[in-house]
Structure 1
Amino acid sequence: MTAAPVTPDLTEPAILSRARTQVLENGEGLSYEDLVEVLRLPDEHVPALLGLAHDVRMRHCGPEVEVEGIISLKTGGCPEDCHFCSQSGQFTSPVRSVWLDIPQLVQAAKETAETGATEFCIVAAVRGPDERLMSQVRDGVKAIHDAVDINVACSLGMLTQEQVDELAAIGVHRYNHNLEAAKSYFPSVVTTHSYEERWETCQMVRDAGMELCCGGLVGMGETLEQRAELASQLAELDPHEVPLNFLNPRPGTPFGDLSTMDAQDALRTIAAFRLAMPRTILRYAGGRELTLGDLGTREGLLGGVNAIIVGNYLTTLGRDPDEDLALLSELKMPIRELAKTL
């Protein structure tokens, strides 16, 4: 006699019931302990988890998606040893040092604006800006503002108070400075500067009135508990936007031989970050194409993500911007207009 097939128990786990009340209804992010439970949910509960995270995003953020483009003003030759980054001058990664000029920055900003993006971020691979870089940023921000109707953001490493004040004064709308990893895992990722130094720059940016963009990378060998720790620490910092990167192992870096993060783990992480920060802009950033592919990109947008970077990243290729924009249209997710971000 053939045994009857076993029907899986899809009764909602207690953590999802608690999150439904605490996060969806009350708008309060989950604690570290609850985030660990979320990240441990079995695969069969991931669809329900993503559905809940999407409901949280829709209720507390709305349907709009913020689109951003990024450009590297100064590429390669960075003195820091961030183990995931091919721009470090300490590794054998094949990234050479390159500077862009002002006309190239303006052209890139124009091309970004043509996609419907409202944010254009100028990035430099440095520990922190010297006077040459600050001068070029100063001139570049003015030239972009004169030529293009778009918000300008910057990511220039660790700042002094004087530099923070100057960036705010010249009209930088948002500053990106990622925590990168949980405090407990940070020494395994970077040794040339401290977690506390990064945190200090983030605090100065917030105090100066600029929007703070601060996220991190996952899939770097950290534990589930350390992913929950990173989400909790970001929630404590309360940035305006959190870019979520997935490790794309780069040849020649200390993390170059790590495996790509499991797609289901990546989706659980997206949902966990949304449940930790119900009102924050949660942005798809580097590594999503490799980690999730086209289907996973769709699932993430239906699982809590409400912002994307279009086009290429700093040292890796992204999806064709038209593909991302077509997907947003198909999902009936309108692109946030510039006037609503000012």
Structure 2
Amino acid sequence: MSCYKLKQHSIFIHPRRIAVSDILELAREKALEKGEGLNQAEVLQILELPDEKIPELMELAHQVRLKWCGEDVEVEGIISLKTGGCPEDCHFCSQSGLFESPVRAVRLDIAELVEAAKQTAKTGATEFCIVAAVKGPDERLMKQVGDAVAAIHSEVDINVAASLGTLTREQAQRLKDMGVHRYNHNLETSRSYFPNVVTTHSWDERRETLEFVREAGMEVCSGGIVGMGETPEQRAEFAVQLAEADPTEVPMNFLDPRPGTPFQHMEVMSAEDSLRAVGAFRLAMPKTTLRFAGGRELSLGDQGTEQGLLGGINAIIVGNYLTTLGRPMEKDLDMMDRLHLPIKALNSAV
């Protein structure tokens, strides 16, 4: 039995709370000075900080990421190899074939993927992620991804990542052998809240895929979406469960309610709660790459995005997402230049 299975049934008991000033001082001592993540109770107190403490939280989170991750910002572009028609019922996702959403199934060919990788590399991005809306890859998709990775590597100097759903141990090893260096499989939310978000597969299935990815020697990328109706306690639980999974990268998405999905009428997360989540996740994972992903434009806007990049975030997806529009990549690159945030250079030839 994996060690995570021994932890996941633990009961969260509220310890004695400490003062607001004390929780920030404790966070400074643990996360900044020692590089240790906050525990679940401590993360919860960060998530409950009053609005007037957000600037102090952002400054502390920024210091933590500078000390333990450096000043560079990693830029990534993503593209969907197969969009729509997914058999799963993730309640936030317009790619599910079970919902009456406007997204319909589309596949790209290899030449289109190579061209997209070239355009991504021109922005200075070091990462290009191939995504498919599937429960898990069948043999046809595995072969197509292998052909795409080989074609991209032959023409573009960029790292290739993939996100193809649930994997077997053998599939994870094949992807590694193909040249995929990082695999994304989001836990999406806390284990306790997961049944409210997905019913066609379990949180444990997702967690097991992360173990196969790690065993194969690929970097683990796993994050999720905040603002899906979870409580602050469950948001804190999620941050700590991600920390226990020890991913290289954590994409932070903010719910963008999509038409036709069960979450279409949910309220957009406030900028204040979004920034508290950014700070809390950084303090829970001081040494992890924390990437701005979908929904930041809606929850945070331009000003909030800048605050996040100066408040713990050290990676960003540029351009459009899978089914939603992002900001023009030139706008994000101009923003990072204005904030004097250097873009991470590609440090390995692929």
TM bin, normalised by shorter chain, reads over 0.9
Alignment of 1:78-89 (within 5 A): 78-89=86-97
Shift of 1:37: 0.3
Shift of 1:57: 0.5
Instruction: Tell me whether 1:15 sits opposite 2:19 in the alignment.
Output: no
CA distance in 2, matches of 1:97, 1:31: 42
- Matched residue SS, 1:13: helix
Shift of 1:12: 6.2
CA distance in 1, matches of 2:292, 2:348: 20
- Matched residue SS, 2:250: strand
Equivalent AA in structure 2 for residue 244 of structure 1: M
Shift of 1:139: 0.4
- Matched residue SS, 1:339: coil
Unpaired runs of at least 5, structure 2: 1-18
Do 2:194 and 2:203's aligned partners in 1 also have CA atoms closer than 8 Å?
yes
Of 282, 286, 300, the match for 1:278: 286
CA distance in 2, matches of 1:340, 1:217: 30
Instruction: Tell me whether 1:153 sits opposite 2:161 in the alignment.
Output: yes
Give runs of ≥4 in structure 1 deviating > 2 Å. none
Instruction: Tell me whether 1:103 sits opposite 2:102 in the alignment.
Output: no
Q: Structure 1 residues 45 and 227, CA, compared in 2 at 3 Å: closer, same or farther?
A: same
CA distance in 2, matches of 1:107, 1:76: 21
Unpaired runs of at least 5, structure 1: 1-10
- Give the TM-score normalised by structure 2: 0.94
Shift of 1:340: 5.9
The corresponding residue for 2:123 is 115
The corresponding residue for 1:37 is 45
Equivalent AA in structure 1 for residue 171 of structure 2: Q
Do 2:20 and 2:49's aligned partners in 1 also have CA atoms closer than 8 Å?
no
The corresponding residue for 2:200 is 192
CA distance in 2, matches of 1:312, 1:267: 22
Kindly report the root-mean-square deviation, in angstroms, between the aligned alpha carbons of the 2 structures.
Answer: 1.1
Deviations 1:185-213, CA, capped at 9 Å, x for gaps: 00000000000000000011011110011
Shift of 1:132: 1.0
Equivalent AA in structure 2 for residue 24 of structure 1: L
How many residues of Structure 1 are paired with residues of Structure 2 in the alignment?
332
The corresponding residue for 2:218 is 210
Shift of 1:52: 0.3
Bigger drift between 207-216 and 331-340 goes to 331-340
CA distance in 2, matches of 1:294, 1:324: 9
- Matched residue SS, 1:30: coil
Instruction: Tell me whether 1:128 sits opposite 2:136 in the alignment.
Output: yes
Alignment of 1:1-342 (within 5 A): 13-339=21-347
Do 2:318 and 2:328's aligned partners in 1 also have CA atoms closer than 8 Å?
yes
CA distance in 2, matches of 1:94, 1:309: 24
- Matched residue SS, 2:347: helix
Deviations 1:248-299, CA, capped at 9 Å, x for gaps: 0000000000010011000000000000000000000000001100000000
CA distance in 2, matches of 1:294, 1:341: 34
